[in-house]
Chains A and B, each alone.
Chain A
Amino acid sequence: METRKHVQTVVAGSLRKPLQENGCGECQTSCQSACKTSCTVGNQACAVRQK
């Protein structure tokens, strides 16, 4: 339980951790699901984690 008074962590990111993940390539290519014109990668899901 976080007890800090001055900083509240909304998301403790994990971007630095997956050094062993060298990109299996199984995830969806990012322009496909909805946008078709304005892709982002941050909102994509990892296909391996979803298995």
Chain B
Amino acid sequence: MRSSAEVKCGFSPDLHLFQVDGCYLAFDVNSGSLHRLDEVAWHLLQQLACGGDWALARQEAVRHFPPDVVDEACRELRELQEGGQLLTKDQGWEDFAPGGELGLKALCLNIAHTCNLSCKYCFVPEQLRSGRDLMPPEVIRAALDFLIRETPYEFLTVDFFGGEPLLNLEGVKLAVDYALEQGKEKKWKFTLTTNTSLLDDEALAFCRRHNISLVLSCDGRPEVHNRYRVTGSGAGTSSLVERRLKRFFETGGCGEYFVRGTYTRSNLDFAEDVRYLARLGAGSISLEPVVAPACRPYALRYEDLDRLREEYFRLARLLREWEASGCRVSFYHFDFDLMGGPCVAKRLTGCGAGYQYLAVTPAGEIYPCHQFVGHPDYRLGDVREGITNPELRERFRRAHLYNKKPCRSCWARFLCGGGCHAQAALLEGDLYQPYPLSCELMRARLEAALYYMAQGLPGKGAEEAAAASR
């Protein structure tokens, strides 16, 4: 159905060519431009990408297409090259890599380590979840004092995470009030990630009042959700979560939210879960690959990659079909703004974990991000003492694109930003080596995102999407 032509020579780190359902696409890595090609232009670009010059590319192309048509396509491609939108070279942006000037700007407060669910794939270590830890008021205040003291920025973010943060709603309220009071001159954004089971009217009213962005966990179809998202006694939670979600939508939702699910190798057909969530009323959806060591039965495997790649493309087609019928659903990872988006420096730094973004435990310990919590080798400090392991912070600061060898030649580097530090460190064993399976998944998802964008061209989307899915 589709084939990818990631060219292995010549321009390969700078140009990505792939085709899907007869749609030929060229992504110019260094300009961030995306072009849709006809067969002639595709043929020419393949030759050029393999190191051939224009004369050779033309010579090869005229064996298959009329010379005047080939010349016309050559002119168009050259125009784009001259305009800096095609066949561009890497600018060597090492100078934009982060130095000491980037400071702290966000905290993930694990406001409750305890959880009322026992999701089987949860990455939070069991000993933390099974405790009853709630972040006490003095730690909440010390954490926010630390953020306000350390940050050079105007825009600050606090995430409420866990465990289940709504088990400490009083702590969340205290944190919001304290942040707004102590950081009056700052612009605050709050987010709360919840398993949704405790999102009652009181919690929802509070979140709305303070414009808290919500990440609402639900994996989709009941049989999918109930397989892993269970109570301590093993009971599924789908019906409770769905009731909460329906109430959330019926009463107007909130300013910004995502219904976020996890997919595993038990539901490689996760586009059906997106469909299910959309039917529940979700307009903003994120489905994420499970994070798990390879030994877990639900962990994704290399042998799943082809199926997953197809599924992302299927999802792209479905979203365009729904859009054509008047129902727009936003899938987080497909909502790219190639014309705007982040600056080059941001694209090199990735997530900022370890120096721009830190996680805090109920005891006040600081870790590089929420996924490192409970791994003592990655303890950075304490909110009362500050950063006590500056060498570790420096290692994270240096973990940018140009210090990750596989990233330097990857076509997806400026869209991906270098991948997840936690997966590199905890699954691959080296902060500077991206986890290869995640890289493959990222490239598949990005190809699908680019395809999704191309299907948004006037007259290109709906009918092709419909034809492809027939």
- Selected from B28, B30, B288, the residue in CB contact (under 8 A) with A38 is B288
Closest to A25 in B: B102
Within 8 A of B (CB), among A7-51: 7-16, 18-19, 21-47, 49
B: number of interface residues (CB 8 Å) = 94
A10 to B453, CA, bound (A): 7
Residues of chain B contacted by A40 (CB below 8 angstroms): 333, 415-417, 442, 446
B260 touches A32 (CB 8 A): no
B154 touches A26 (CB 8 A): yes
B106 touches A16 (CB 8 A): no
A41 touches B332 (CB 8 A): no
A46 touches B343 (CB 8 A): yes
- Selected from A11, A18, A43, the residue in CB contact (under 8 A) with B34 is A11
Q: A23-B345, A34-B215, A40-B333 are in contact. Are A13 and B32 (CB under 8 A)?
A: yes
A43 to B449, CA, bound (A): 10
B370 interface contact, C-beta 8 A: yes
B332 touches A35 (CB 8 A): yes
A13 touches B34 (CB 8 A): yes
B152 touches A25 (CB 8 A): yes
Closest to A16 in B: B31
A39 touches B32 (CB 8 A): no
A47 to B189, CA, bound (A): 12
State the Cβ distance, B31 to closest chain A Cβ, in Å.
4
Residues of chain B contacted by A21 (CB below 8 angstroms): 343-345
Residues of chain B contacted by A19 (CB below 8 angstroms): 344
Residues of chain B contacted by A35 (CB below 8 angstroms): 260, 286, 288, 332-333
Q: A11-B453, A33-B213 are in contact. Are A28 and B189 (CB under 8 A)?
A: yes
Residues of chain B contacted by A41 (CB below 8 angstroms): 342, 346-347, 349-351, 414-417
A15 touches B32 (CB 8 A): yes
A32 touches B157 (CB 8 A): yes
Residues of chain B contacted by A15 (CB below 8 angstroms): 30-32, 344, 347, 414
The bracket for how many chain A residues form the interface is 35 or more
State the Cβ distance, B421 to closest chain A Cβ, in Å.
9
Residues of chain A contacted by B417 (CB below 8 angstroms): 30, 39-42
B251 interface contact, C-beta 8 A: no
Q: A7-B76, A11-B339, A38-B438 are in contact. Are A29 and B31 (CB under 8 A)?
A: no
Counting residue pairs across A and B whose Cβ atoms lie within 8 Å, the total is: 228
- Selected from A10, A14, A43, the residue in CB contact (under 8 A) with B332 is A43
Q: A10-B457, A39-B417 are in contact. Are A16 and B102 (CB under 8 A)?
A: no
The interface residues of chain B, by DSSP majority, are classed as mixed
A25 touches B103 (CB 8 A): yes
Closest to B453 in A: A10
- What mask results when residues 116 to 136 of chain B are scored 1 for a CB within 8 Å of chain A, else 0? 000000010000000000000
Most buried by B among A8, A27, A42: A42
Residues of chain A contacted by B152 (CB below 8 angstroms): 25
A49 to B336, CA, bound (A): 15
Q: A29-B352, A31-B357 are in contact. Are A22 and B96 (CB under 8 A)?
A: yes
B335 interface contact, C-beta 8 A: yes
A9 to B25, CA, bound (A): 10
Closest to A18 in B: B343
Within 8 A of A (CB), among B372-390: none
Residues of chain B contacted by A32 (CB below 8 angstroms): 106, 108, 157, 159, 191, 357
B351 touches A36 (CB 8 A): no
A41 to B140, CA, bound (A): 29
A34 touches B351 (CB 8 A): no
Q: A21-B345, A26-B155 are in contact. Are A9 and B371 (CB under 8 A)?
A: no
- Selected from A16, A34, A45, A47, the residue in CB contact (under 8 A) with B91 is A16
Q: A7-B41, A32-B157 are in contact. Are A44 and B342 (CB under 8 A)?
A: yes
A8 touches B98 (CB 8 A): no
B238 interface contact, C-beta 8 A: no
A49 to B340, CA, bound (A): 8
Residues of chain B contacted by A26 (CB below 8 angstroms): 105, 153-155
A20 to B206, CA, bound (A): 41
State the Cβ distance, B442 to closest chain A Cβ, in Å.
7
A47 to B351, CA, bound (A): 15
A7 touches B35 (CB 8 A): yes
A43 touches B102 (CB 8 A): no
Q: Which 10 A-B pairs have the closest CB atoms?
A: A23-B345, A13-B32, A42-B415, A41-B417, A15-B32, A29-B357, A21-B343, A13-B33, A6-B73, A34-B258
- Knowing that A13-B31, A13-B85, A14-B31 touch, tell me 12 more A-B residue pairs with CB under 8 angstroms: A6-B38, A6-B72, A9-B80, A12-B33, A13-B32, A16-B30, A25-B153, A30-B350, A36-B260, A40-B416, A42-B417, A43-B449
- Name 11 interchain pairs, CB-CB below 8 A, sorted by A: A7-B41, A8-B35, A8-B457, A12-B339, A15-B32, A23-B346, A28-B155, A29-B351, A30-B346, A33-B213, A43-B333
